[in-house]
Amino acid sequence: MKIGLAQLNIHVGNFKANTEKIIHALRTAEAQGAELVVYSELGICGYPSRDFLEFDDYISRCEAAIDEIAKHTAKTAVLIGAPQRNPNVQGKDLFNSALLLYQGRVQHVTHKTLLPTYDIFDECRYFESNTEFKLFEFKGKKLAITICEDIWNVGNDNPLYTACPMDELIKLKPDVILNLSASPFSYVQHTERINVVRANCLRYALPMVYVNQVGAQTEIIFDGGSVVVGEKGNVLEQLPFFKEEVRVWTLAEDCGRWTTSDRRWTMDNRRRTLARPPSPTLVPCLSHPRCPGPGY
């Protein structure tokens, strides 16, 4: 199965421009044979949306954007993050979710389990935590879909949570882990991020596609650096930092290897990026003192 990684600069609340960019990335990956394109956490509306999430009109605009993008998924599926309403009157009103869109509609929804509430993160303020664990089978592959912090309880000496979502999903025998992220930049974040992804791949003996966003939201900088990592923890591909890019990879039939012969830069088949956000000024890490790192 050919999977596209769409590393984009999504602006909070800019629904028209975001939707156009998402569809353009879909078409770019689709032209290179992608069957599924993976985007970042809350890629529909931008991360972090903060108190915008408390406005019904904001959520309605997210839903309208999802409907519009779904119209373009006749051939290629989209996996993208968005807030979803909680049908249960008990608990928070929303979930932080990943939606798989295909053939014009939402085919599957996964909710985020581990909600960070430290440093710049305040997800427990807005979102209800997931309690159900399911895979989604697509093109003959069983997908374990996770959202950012869901993989961060593995590979560190001081876990912040008592549960690991992949411990539940691995019981269902997935073929690959997909992770939608909004992981901010710090001096040490790239090293910690790679270590966590590798630790998950080694622990569960599965490859992982990890897609992060780029750009900035007020004081928060996102550096991209999306990766494909094999089941043995080897980094097979690293997307650039601080640049938008779409790239397509092929999951081999045995699911343990990713082929490199099909690797392509998907903008006119050249080393070209969608845009170049300005390089940020380095700032000190703002990690919570109780956390081993930014934790994302």
Q: Which residues are the active-site residues? A: 41, 112, 148
The DSSP annotation for 140-162 comes to TEEEEEEEGGGGTTSS-SS-S-S
User: Where do runs of H (alpha helix) occur along the chain?
Assistant: 15-31, 56-70, 165-169, 189-204
90: how many CB neighbours lie within 10 A of its CB?
6
Radius of gyration of the chain (CA): 17
Tell the residue number behind the tokens 């408390």, with chain if given. Answer: 54
Token duo for residue 105? 């509609």
CB 117 within 8 A of CB 125: yes
Strand positions, DSSP E, the chain: 2-7, 36-38, 77-85, 94-102, 105-111, 136-138, 141-147, 176-180, 208-211, 214-217, 220-223, 227-229, 235-238, 245-251, 258-265
Amino acid at 279: S
CA distances from 294 to 12, 96, 103, 126, 143 (A): 21, 19, 38, 20, 27
Question: How many Å apart are CA 131 and CA 147, to the nearest integer?
Answer: 14
Amino acid at 73: T
CB 273 within 8 A of CB 267: yes
Helices 15-31/56-70 angle, 10° precision: 20
Question: How many Å apart are CA 36 and CA 79, to the nearest integer?
Answer: 7
